[in-house]
Structure 1
Amino acid sequence: MFQSFEVTARPEQGPPRLAALREVLAARGLDGFIVPRADAHQGEYVAARDARLAWLTGFTGSAGFCVVLHDMAGVFIDGRYRTQVKAQVADVFTPVAWPETSMADWLRVHVPRGGRVGFDPWLHTVDQIAQAERALAGSGITLVQCDNPVDAVWEDQPAPPMAPAKPHPPEFAGESHIDKRARLAAALKQAGESAAVLTLPDSICWLLNIRGADIARNPVVHSFALLHVDGSVDLYAAPAKFDRLTDHLGADVRLAAPEGFLAALDTLEGPVRIDTGSCPQIVADRLGDRARPGAEPCALPKARKNAAEIAGAAEAHLRDGAAMVELLCWLDGHAPGTLTEIAVVRQLEAFRRRDNALQDISFETIAGTGPNGAIMHYRVTEETDSTLEDGHLIVLDSGGQYLDGTTDITRTIAIGTPPREACAAFTRVLAGMIAMSRLRWPRGLAGAHIEAIGRAPLWLAGQDFDHGLGHGVGAYLSVHEGPQRLSRMSQVPLEPGMILSNEPGYYREGAFGIRIENLLVVREAPDLPGGDAHRAMLDWQTLAFAPIDRRLILADLLEPAARAWLNDYHAQTLEKIGPRVSPAAKAWLSEACAPV
């Protein structure tokens, strides 16, 4: 169900919290302190205890940070959050457009030479600190490791999460954790490394075939781990979480309290692999010259889903698609002006919860109507809840965490009669989504090489959007999974088995938002008719099936091949989802899937 972020600062709380933090900085002889969004595990989502950025500033976006100085506090946010941040932070905080303005450039302007800016070495990666120090070279500004001063002033900071861990069934995992550990250990041995440090909870959960609930909407266990060259693992997590998992873990997985993690690093003989893009700076400091930078060993194996994981994802998406169709039918049965965003969120979750395999929703549902739809990661609250009025669009971005797969789907729906300019933009977004769905590409290409395909129809009209075209998705794990992405920044080659989202959009501040999203899985492309292809190719298998609102489509803006793809997609949707829904929803679906 929709929920507020309990630790988030209300606007009136921002000034006293900021003032208290500045008193601590002054007492410690610091000119500033960096407050990141991240926790010690560097995940996108954080537990309430680690929501320092939201507690201090009120900003709840999934990326960003604050730099607190004695006379200024900058909240650094990218293009996804520039509308949202205006509504969330008090006027004692100054939004800073990032990455257009780097932290180092901002510090050079606002911190005098000789200034000392503190940071918590648990909350910043090795790469982040190295990059910042390079950028500050010659400025006279020093980054100083320190205990976190936010914790010192956060009197009612929540306790660490203590949700129990559970085994992930082999029929869904597709491989035992014994075999996974042996496979990854063999790679360490080949690289001449004695061990690897694992700090990402979803990697540890994937490796050991466990799941948890330490992060809302993400079935992970807060933990650290050391994978040794013999395939054994030292797991550092609260032992109380694992009361019933002794048999599952076995003798080669040794459990210890997380407080012992740093001391255990002292006992390792090098070289020890660390992923400098996700490993906290404090780990590298403790290992010293025994640390060897390298790829996080679980990242690519986890991203390349096996046959069982792909089959589970496909089945989960069909059940999820049935819930979406029930919701869309229900929504169409209400006249404009009779529903609010919260009512839509509640009803969609109720339809999803009819499935006993649903463990949770996969993220807080985005249901933004009218101007709220232009806030890319909008989260409805009692204060912002808006009525779905005639002429509005509603962006509905949601998903489920099922035992057999994680879903994430977005549909933009017309309320009453939509304006033509919104229909034109919607059709361009749809054209980009279809172009990516139809794409074939040579092996070896990364997201950066093909992402523009999904933007091209918008670009031709002078339009664009400020988020990536797609992100990786886990197998009953994190809804945002790396390293695969459809992003101009991603150089990770796409490989069979990787699941990604395909979600172009368009957002007109103060008016409307548009996004259309399906999840796709990379596969070996089937042979073309005639069989004269001279190079091995990859393409997509579509996982998500739910109708796309035909009322928003200007058919003359779609090329014939795109219309053919859409009509085929709708025919498949009717065939696959129709038998899974109520008679009323099936009748509605038949009309919604009529050819364009």
Structure 2
Amino acid sequence: MFQSFETLASPEHGAGRLAQLRAALKKADVQGLIVPRADVHQGEYVAERDQRLQWLTGFTGSAGLCVVLPDVAGVFVDGRYRTQVKSQVDLAHFTPVDWPETQPGDWIKAHLTTGRIGYDPWLHTPAEVQKIEDALAATGVKILPAPNFIDQIWADQPAAPQGKAFVHPLEFAGESHADKRARMAAELAAAGQGACVITLPDSLCWLLNIRGADVPRNPVMLGLAILHADGRLDLFADAAKFDDALLAHLGPDVTLHAPDALLDGLSRVQGKIRLCKKTAPLAVGRHLTQNKIPFDWGDDPCQMAKACKNAAEIEGMRSAHLRDAVAMVEFLAWLDGASDLTEIAVAQKLEGFRRATNALHDLSFDSIVGSGPNGAIMHYRVTEDTNRPIGENELLLVDSGGQYVDGTTDITRTVARGDPGQEARECYTRVLQGTIAISRLRFAKGRAGRDLDGFARWPLWQAGMDFDHGTGHGVGAFLSVHEGPQRLSYTSDVPFRAGMILSNEPGYYREGEFGIRLENLIVVVDAPPMGDHRPQLAFETLTWVPFDRRLVVVDMLTAGERDWLNSYHAEVRARLEVRVSAGAVEWLRAATAGV
């Protein structure tokens, strides 16, 4: 099994560790510390060694931070984790804070009038630090670079990961890494820059057509790089991760260096260096400034190029999703006939169906299997301690995905166990209407996630409902299941471009009762000309798995919504009928009948 079910949160350790930390801060004459969920690479996913926020507080979510002050410690979490955090931290010692509604700088002002607050400059971006500094500018509180106090007191901190890296084949990458480096280097040269720093693991792996095993569920290698304007690349990573075949793949224009040699390498760059304020650690910018090395702020050139998938990557994603859909249909057919189940049993069975494809590299994240009230915990991870029998007459939310060498999948279906009641069906239908609305959209080129997100919420808004997460995130091609910079979210101003892949996943969550989320992956495509022929974009659906017709209140659907659902189900049946087992065909035909 890829997924394990041990309990990762340890709130019982929080008080002792917090006391240790405060003692270390007092000894250093520092009144506070900012503890992020981040590593030097500034990606969303971190290795066990870098789970400092989890170690200190018990909170296991994928985003957040803790601000430790002498008398209070705030754990900042967004809408996805506000239910989860309350069960994972010791509430007698840690205070959950709604973020981003409350910003760290403003919270610090409300709890401290004077003093020094430390932060590790390798674990924060310049943009993050600047925002806090601006908020504290007129106060007696200062934030300053400091040693990593968590690492000093974490006695059994895991070692840095040394997963073996490997080649990502050209047939799936669609472009050689030499051509990618030349394309990114040309952008630097055109901007008058001699090099750029690359810190994001998925950017680095995409650029070099390699994958790795340093972070659970994400096939990335941790490393840093300097890309020069002539296409050469200095790679700073552990040599133990590279075998002869991979070194031959990288070739003579990629030079391997020790992981801690980045700052020395920057001193040898000819010309200005591009540094991304949103993704590079502040320590790099401080080094450049202190050593009078010229640099410009600018975006990581790989991010947008990686986001706009080429034809080979899109075709690989289509193939991966079709394969994954077969596994999902086999699973859903089994689930409908199964009884006396637990959440762990469901997660194990689902992984088994994906493994049966003989193509599964890994899960794309730990499967979320939440029954009844656990479905309302948006990023719920079932453990041996929380494992719940799946009851009758309730909803079961299953959010899961696979990593295949040709693509990454992410799908959520909420299904009925028995009769969950009319109100649950109406809520489900409103969420489905949001999914359909996004799927049917045509929109002008230049529009961003903030322009489209409301379409997914409108059916819920009409009933006074909403959900506290973005409608969708970017998705990589055999890379991170969460990928930037594109998002289908009211907070995103990144314009959509053809080739971008996103999730389409509105939801509704009633704490203590049930959760509903429905998710397909979609790819941005050029829309066929119509009207006055203004350039428009649309979404092509990649996911082909039935929705639960038993939960659809058909009378709530418009004619257009009903037509879309029937057309989608007909396409699901046509694509999968010849691929699923004989035992699942009957279930599939019933599940995709018209409404």
Q: TM-score, normalised by structure 2?
A: 0.98
Q: State the match for 1:285 in structure 2.
A: 286
SS in 2 for 1:273: strand
Aligned structure 1 segments of 4 or more residues deviating by more than 6 angstroms? none
Counterpart residue number, 2:253: 252
Q: Which residue of 2 aligns with 1:210?
A: 210
The answer to whether structure 1 residue 577 and structure 2 residue 576 are counterparts is yes
- Residue by residue over 1:175-229, the C-alpha shift from the partner in whole angstroms, topping out at 9 and shown as x without a partner, is 0000000111111100000000000000000000000010000000000000000
Tell me the amino acid that sits aligned with residue 543 of structure 2: A
Q: Is residue 2:315 matched to residue 1:314? A: no
Amino acid at match of 1:352: R
The secondary structure found in structure 2 opposite 1:172 is: helix
Report the equivalent of 1:401: 403
CA distance in 1, matches of 2:517, 2:546: 14
Specify the alignment match of 2:268 in structure 1: 267
Name the aligned partner's letter for residue 303 of structure 2.
Answer: A
Task: Give the corresponding residue for 2:80.
Answer: 80
- Choose which of 452, 455, 458 in structure 1 pairs with 2:457: 455
Shift of 1:44: 1.1
- Residues in 1 aligned to 2:409 and 2:74: alpha-carbon distance in whole angstroms: 35
Q: Distance in 1 between matches of 2:9 and 2:320?
A: 37
Matched, 1:232 2:259: no
**Does the 8 Å CA contact 1:79/1:466 hold for their aligned counterparts?**
yes
In structure 2, the partner of 1:139 is: 139
**Cα offset for 1:534?**
2.9
Give CA-to-partner distance per residue, 1:79-111, whole Å, 9 cap, x none.
111110010001211111112221111111212
Matching of residue 221 in structure 1 with residue 221 in structure 2: yes
Structure 1 residues 242-266: Cα deviation after superposition (integer angstroms, max 9, x where no partner): 1231110000000011111122122
Aligned to 2:97: 96
The answer as to whether partners of 1:2 and 1:380 remain within 8 angstroms in 2 is no
CA distance in 2 between counterparts of 1:5 and 1:221 reads 25
Q: Residue 473 of structure 2 corresponds to which residue in structure 1?
A: 471
Of the three residues 424, 431, 434, the one matched with 1:429 is 431
Match of 1:516 in 2: 518
Farther-moved stretch of structure 1 (15-24 vs 204-213): 15-24
Identical amino acids, percent of aligned pairs: 57
Q: Tell me, in whole angstroms, the C-alpha distance in 2 between the residues paired with 1:315 and 1:568.
A: 20
Letter in 1 for 2:251: G
Task: Pick from 285, 288, 298 the counterpart of residue 302 of structure 2.
Answer: 298
Q: CA deviation at 1:5?
A: 6.6
Match of 2:39 in 1: 39
Query: Does the 8 A contact of 1:275 with 1:294 survive in 2?
Result: yes
Q: In 2, Cα distance between the equivalents of 1:343 and 1:279?
A: 41
Distance in 2, matches of 1:535 and 1:267, equals 48
The RMSD of aligned alpha carbons is 1.0
What displacement does 1:4 show?
4.5
Once the two structures are superposed, residues 273-317 of structure 1 have per-residue CA deviations (whole angstroms, 9 ceiling, x without a partner) of 111001100010111261201111101110000000000000000
Matched-pair contact (CA < 8 Å) for 2:370–2:382: yes
CA displacement 1:325-353 (0-9 Å, x = unmatched):
01100000023xx1010011000000001
Q: Conserved in 1, the CA contact under 8 Å of 2:211 and 2:219?
A: yes
Q: Which consecutive unaligned segments of at least 5 residues does structure 2 have? A: none
Amino acid at match of 1:178: A
Tell me the equivalent position of 2:559. Answer: 560
Aligned-pair distance for 1:369? 0.5
Q: Could you tell me whether the CA contact under 8 Å between 2:163 and 2:241 is conserved in 1?
A: yes
Aligned equivalents of 2:187, 2:82: Cα separation in 1 = 43
Alpha-carbon separation, structure 2, partners of 1:69 and 1:5: 31
Structure 2 counterpart of 1:534: 533
- Deviation for aligned residue 1:421: 0.7
Q: Does 2:363 correspond to 1:392?
A: no
For residues 390 and 151 of structure 2, the distance between their equivalents in structure 1, rounded to whole angstroms, comes to 41
CA contact (8 A) 2:9 2:60 kept: no
Letter in 2 for 1:207: L
| Paired residues of 1:204 and 1:223 also in contact (CA < 8 A) | yes
Distance in 1, Cα, partners of 2:325 & 2:365:
17
For residues 499-510 of structure 1, what are the structure 2 equivalents within 5 Å?
Answer: 499-510=501-512
* Higher deviation after alignment, 134-143 or 298-307: 134-143
CA distance in 1 between counterparts of 2:187 and 2:300 reads: 11
SS across alignment from 2:34: strand
**Residues 514-553 of structure 1 deviation map (CA, whole Å, 9 limit, x = unaligned):** 000000000011245xxx4431211111000000000110
After TM superposition, list the pairs within 5 Å mapping 1:153-168 onto structure 2.
Answer: 153-168=153-168
Q: Distance in 2 between matches of 1:579 and 1:237?
A: 46
DSSP 3-state at the match of 1:25: helix
Residues 265 and 286 in structure 1, CA contact (< 8 A), matched pair in contact too: no
